[in-house]
Amino acid sequence: MRRSFVRLVVGSVVASWAVGFVVIYSYARSRSWTDEHARRDGVFLVHEELDQEPAPNRAGRLRELQQHFSVDFALITIDELERRIGRRAGPGERIARRVSGREAWYFLVFEDGQGALAAGPVDPVNPEGVLPVGLIFAIVCIPAIIGLLALRVEQRLRKVERASEALAVGKFSARVDDQGGPSDELAATFNAMAERIEYLIRSREELVQAVSHELGSPLSRLRFHIELLSGVSDEDRDERLSAMTRDLDALDELVAELLCYVQTDELELERVEFNPIRGLTDLAELARLEAPDDREIDVDFVLPDNATVLADQRLFLRAIENLLRNAVRHADGRVQVVLTDDEKHVRLSIHDDGPGIPDELRDRATTPFVRLDADRSRTTGGVGLGLAIVSRIMDRHGGRLEIGDSPLGGAKVATLWPKQT
């Protein structure tokens, strides 16, 4: 493909030059013929005008006419004319003599035989008849410039080709050297694609490793309990069945969270503008049901009545559900939902009065299967995908997730939803 591209460029440049030189030659020839006849006709017009004047008045009339022509005119005697042409000349005779190259003199005898009009030297190709310099530049230089630009593009394509070949064999870190400028838009697009592919591959690898670990623990416990079921008392059997049920619930939650995590990138967004208040209050009631048995969690709201959000409603509610469940699980007694907005974003913040998230752990909070402390463990539930899912949902919407300290004393997790797509 690269060789064909080079052949096409070289052929186009050569063809452009050939056509250009033909145009130059044809233009010059046509203008030369036209100018020569136009000048000759001008000489004849001046002669006819002077021929109508009496001989004494011809010099004055010629001075007036000379101002309108670029050819030099002169009145000469018959003797001078015959000396210059080397023979006798009669009244009304018109004589042309080429003196050097393309220059010529015209001699026109007046009808009354009293002198003649001399015009010359006449150059049939005057400066106005030559092909304009700008056109010569366009015909000769522009193909060369096009050729150089095409070669630069070919070099960029070669780099993209090499990077594509590296990507195809699994070298996902391959990039095209992007030096900036309009000609490197292809390189920038390729690099963005390569970064996306590398991110997806790395995410899948991390996910597979994490899943294998997360599935291993409940499966091992289930196998252990099943092996111990035989030969135990009814009381022990009930206890082990309850433990197995908890492990099955954990597996069920893990599978559901995994599906949500994977499908977040694959779902097609259906952005609509809606009032989130009803959905938020319903989610809060459901989340309170997951509070630890030893705590009573109050959820209060700070929401304007006319609040609206532009988002995919399914993903929006899923993100807020995850945040509310996390907050309720780790709060000591209070959770607060606050919605505010500015010119660019709608900010929905979830506050709790729990232990909070330490600064040094906040960067890892959205990593799949990461549990930030001992409280965020089996005792409070969760599989470590809640914030990871929220982070992906925010990325899909072009928003962001912020983690900080709440005035209530615990964690504040804020989602910023863009007002425009």
| pLDDT tens sequence across 278-299 | 999 888 888 888 777 778 888 9
pLDDT for the residue 127: 39
- What CATH number has the domain bearing residue 302? 3.30.565.10
Total domain count, the chain: 2
Q: Does a structural domain hold residue 180?
A: no
Report the C-alpha gap between 403 and 170 in whole angstroms.
36
In a domain, 306, yes or no: yes
CA atoms of 349 and 338, how far apart (whole Å)? 5
Does pTM surpass 0.95? no
In a domain, 205, yes or no: no
Q: Is residue 75 part of a domain?
A: yes
Distances (CA, A) of 184 to 160, 174, 177, 190, 191: 10, 16, 9, 10, 11
Let me know if residue 151 belongs to a domain. Answer: no
Confidence of residue 185 (pLDDT cuts 50, 70, 90): confident
How many other C-beta atoms are found inside a 10 Å radius of the C-beta of residue 181? 10
Would you say residue 402 lies in a domain?
yes
Residue finishing a domain among 72, 95, 129: 129
Measured distance CA(306)–CA(277) in Å, rounded? 9
pLDDT band of residue 38 (cuts 50, 70, 90) is very low
What is the reported pLDDT for 232? 66
**46 domain-assigned:** yes
Task: Give percent of the chain above pLDDT 90.
Answer: 18
Q: How far apart are CA 184 and CA 163, in angstroms?
A: 14
More confident of the two residues 159 and 14: 159
Domain boundary pick from 107, 129, 151: 129
Query: What SS3 state is found at 74?
Result: strand
Least confident of 64-68, 89-93, 214-218: 214-218
End of a domain among 72, 104, 129? 129
For the ranges 80-89, 279-288, 403-412, the one whose mean pLDDT is highest:
403-412
Q: Report yes or no: 248 and 283 within 8 Å, Cβ to Cβ.
A: no
Residue 408, φ and ψ in degrees, nearest 5: -75, -10
Domain that holds residue 40: 2-129
State pLDDT tens for residues 190-202.
788 888 788 777 7
Task: With respect to residue 142, please indicate whether it lies within any of the assigned structural domains.
Answer: no
Closest CA to 345 of 400, 291, 290: 400
- Of 279 and 420, which is predicted with more confidence? 279
Confidence of residue 349 (pLDDT cuts 50, 70, 90): very high
Q: How far is CA 266 from the centre of its chain?
A: 23
User: Phi, psi (5° rounding) for residue 110?
Assistant: -75, 155
Q: pLDDT tier at 172 (50, 70, 90 boundaries)?
A: confident
